[in-house]
């Protein structure tokens, strides 16, 4: 199977190179908005037709090179098609961010530690950093259309990288692991040997409470500096959350390795469910990036020769894994305790979720291999 991940690199242009890149960004953004206006008025999303309508304008009015003009059309078409697939009404798409889509070996290349990229004033070569991404530049990875972005006064290159990996066959599965995602424990696992791993979320919960309190103080000030600070805090919190999710997903996958089936909860509708939580606890429950954590577990498992499935989590925290009795009364959320009203089996409620997910994983293998 093909696995695609995105490597994020920081590039370090000189002052002169920065100005060239910023001028290219400006022209590229203006070109995108011009093409977007044409698409909005004509409802035309076929590139050959858009080429006839906009190519000369992009070249003459904005000074874009031929490949840049083609990339502009593809960028605009992709954005409109994304809006359509998400069910959004037909509205004119506006491009505001300083970004530039780059085609591998046409607009950009990476050679001997240098990032070579087309600008309005010709090709420039810029040093780049691969901190934490070195392993993606070894082996048989193929590079796709990248996105060069300018953010917080710095330049970053986002490269989708694709590699053929061996897909874990169900017949080769040697371990089934139920993974319950939550707040008090970011992940709780239960495996075929009846062993449980808890990834404690207490520090993360306290950290989020700190961010919440700080955000509330700044919101009450309502000053320009407070609004700037609020934006910085949000970005810092997102980076921190991503780092925690990376650590948890790596530790989880490394604990079991190849030929493991990880069974996670299907997260569709999780936000609607958690927003019914008491208002004072809603931020801690809703704000965690559960979907991001699931994505990280999925691609890291695939890299290790493991497999991930998502199942309906309905009743997984209410059903007794011993006798099958299902009732809301079985679970005490305040004490995080599960006690079956029928057979009196007791355990941590997150562990019970992991046990039931593991059972569903075993059923999945039996059905698929029958």
Supply the pLDDT for residue 269.
Answer: 56
How many Cβ atoms sit within 10 Å of the Cβ of residue 68?
25
How many Cβ atoms sit within 10 Å of the Cβ of residue 133?
17
How do residues 237-253 score in pLDDT, each as one tens digit? Answer: 888 888 999 999 999 99
How do residues 35-59 score in pLDDT, each as one tens digit? Answer: 999 999 999 999 999 999 999 999 9
Q: Percent of the chain, pLDDT > 90?
A: 65
Supply the pLDDT for residue 280.
Answer: 52
Give residues with Cβ within 8 angstroms of 121, minimum separation 6.
Answer: 20, 23
* Dist CA 288 CA 47 (whole Å): 39
How many Cβ atoms sit within 10 Å of the Cβ of residue 208?
20
DSSP conformation class of 167: P
Q: Do residues 133 and 7 make contact, with C-beta atoms less than 8 angstroms apart?
A: yes
| CA nearest neighbour of 253 among 327, 207, 305 | 305
Q: What's the residue count for the chain?
A: 370
Instruction: Output b/e per residue, 213-223; b: 16+ Cβ within 10 A.
Output: eebeebeeeee
To 10 degrees, what angle do helices 15-42 and 66-85 make? 50
What average pLDDT values come out for the chain (370 residues) when binned by 10 residues? 88 96 96 96 95 95 94 95 92 94 91 91 92 74 92 92 88 94 91 94 86 87 87 84 92 94 81 49 59 91 93 91 94 91 95 96 91
Residue pointed to by tokens 């299902």: 326
Provide the 3-class DSSP secondary structure of residue 326.
strand
To 10 degrees, what angle do helices 66-85 and 47-62 make? 130
Supply the pLDDT for residue 278.
Answer: 52
DSSP conformation class of 319: B
| CA nearest neighbour of 148 among 63, 68, 239 | 68
Provide the 3-class DSSP secondary structure of residue 238.
helix
Q: Do residues 348 and 189 make contact, with C-beta atoms less than 8 angstroms apart?
A: no
* Dist CA 366 CA 370 (whole Å): 6
Supply the pLDDT for residue 326.
Answer: 95
* Dist CA 72 CA 77 (whole Å): 9
């Amino acid at each position: 199977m093909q696995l695609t991940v995105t490597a994020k690199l920081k590039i370090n242009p000189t002052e002169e190179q920065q100005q060239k890149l910023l001028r290219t960004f400006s022209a590229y953004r203006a070109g995108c908005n011009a093409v977007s206006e044409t698409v909005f008025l004509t409802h035309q999303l076929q590139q050959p037709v858009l080429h006839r309508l906009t190519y000369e304008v992009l070249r003459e009015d904005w000074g874009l090179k031929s490949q840049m003009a083609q990339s502009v059309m593809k960028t605009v078409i992709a954005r409109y098609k994304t809006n359509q697939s998400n069910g959004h009404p037909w509205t004119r798409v506006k491009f505001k961010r300083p970004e530039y889509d780059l085609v591998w070996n046409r607009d950009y290349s990476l050679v001997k530690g240098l990032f070579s990229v087309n600008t309005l004033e010709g090709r420039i070569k810029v040093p780049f950093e691969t901190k934490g991404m070195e392993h993606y530049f070894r082996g048989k990875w193929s590079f796709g259309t990248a996105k060069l972005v300018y953010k917080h006064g710095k330049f970053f290159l986002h490269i989708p990288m694709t590699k053929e990996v061996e897909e874990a066959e169900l017949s080769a599965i040697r371990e089934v692991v139920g993974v319950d995602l939550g707040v008090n424990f970011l992940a709780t696992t239960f495996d075929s040997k009846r062993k449980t791993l808890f990834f404690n979320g207490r520090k993360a919960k306290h950290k989020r409470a700190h961010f919440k309190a700080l955000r509330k103080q700044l919101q009450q000030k309502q000053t320009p500096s407070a609004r700037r600070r609020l934006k910085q805090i949000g970005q810092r919190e997102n980076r921190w959350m991503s780092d925690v999710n990376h650590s948890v997903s790596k530790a989880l996958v490394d604990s079991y390795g190849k030929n493991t089936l990880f069974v996670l909860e299907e997260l569709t509708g999780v936000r609607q469910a958690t927003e019914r939580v008491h208002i004072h606890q809603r931020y801690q429950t809703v704000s965690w990036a559960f979907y991001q954590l699931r994505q990280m577990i999925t691609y890291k498992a695939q890299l290790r020769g493991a497999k991930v499935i998502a199942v309906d989590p309905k009743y997984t925290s209410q059903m007794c894994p011993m006798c099958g009795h299902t009732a809301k009364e079985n679970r005490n959320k305040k004490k995080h305790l599960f006690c079956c009203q029928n057979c009196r089996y007791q355990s941590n409620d997150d562990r019970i979720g992991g046990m039931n997910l593991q059972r569903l994983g075993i059923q999945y293998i039996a059905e698929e291999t029958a």
